Amino acid sequence: MKPTKVLAALWLACTPLWYSCQQKSHLLNQDQTAISDSTYHSVELVERYGELTAFDEVMQLFPDQMVYVMFWKSTCEECTAEFSSIPELSTFAQKNGIVPLYISLDRDSDAKLWEETIEVNELTGKHIRANRQLAADIRERFEMESSGRNTFQVPFYIILKNGKIVKLGAESPRSKKRLQEQLQSFKIRKEA
């Protein structure tokens, strides 16, 4: 094959790939369908998150990292109200090597709303939409007594460090200064 034909074949093979990279990038949800991510390059779904069945498995994904975990649902107004503080949290997290992890407890029927909520609110960080088993494990593990019965309510925040829970009921994104101080204190604290 002549060099010009090789170049032409290479150009034809690569052009669609280059063009698609210039357009919207995509995220995949549990059933491997694409959701668009047109403005941010730091929204990432945890690989094979649909296979996770216990919160211990989630913690094992971050053995040497500090992670700020946000449990939420797209239909929770209090949860989505917190998202206005995410840009500042994302900047702080990036500067300090902290991983923002969003774990959605949305049902399969709310998958599209979950995708839209991530996109509209520019929720930079890592994402998991909990399947039924993982959601049940999370509810059981983090339920607290409320009005005489045990329940798990979102939004709920925790801090992980080196694959272990170091703070249950962490500060919310809206309490910016207190959250940053809390994260910083765990960042410098040595493990016993």
Query: Do the domain assignments include residue 3?
Result: no
Query: Do the domain assignments include residue 2?
Result: no
Query: Do the domain assignments include residue 129?
Result: yes
Predicted local distance difference test score (pLDDT) of residue 184: 95
Predicted local distance difference test score (pLDDT) of residue 5: 43
Query: Do the domain assignments include residue 97?
Result: yes
Query: Do the domain assignments include residue 55?
Result: yes
Predicted local distance difference test score (pLDDT) of residue 187: 87
> Number of folded domains in the chain?
1
26, 58, 62, 146, 185 from 48: Cα distances, Å: 15, 11, 14, 34, 32
Q: How far apart are CA 64 and CA 176, in angstroms?
A: 25
| CATH number reported for the structural domain that contains residue 160 in this entry | 3.40.30.10
Could you say which residues of the chain have pLDDT below 50? 1-41, 192
Predicted local distance difference test score (pLDDT) of residue 21: 31
Q: Phi and psi (nearest 5°) for 107?
A: -75, 165
Predicted local distance difference test score (pLDDT) of residue 147: 74
Predicted local distance difference test score (pLDDT) of residue 144: 83
For 44-90, what is each residue's pLDDT tens digit? 999 999 999 999 999 999 999 999 999 999 999 999 999 999 999 99
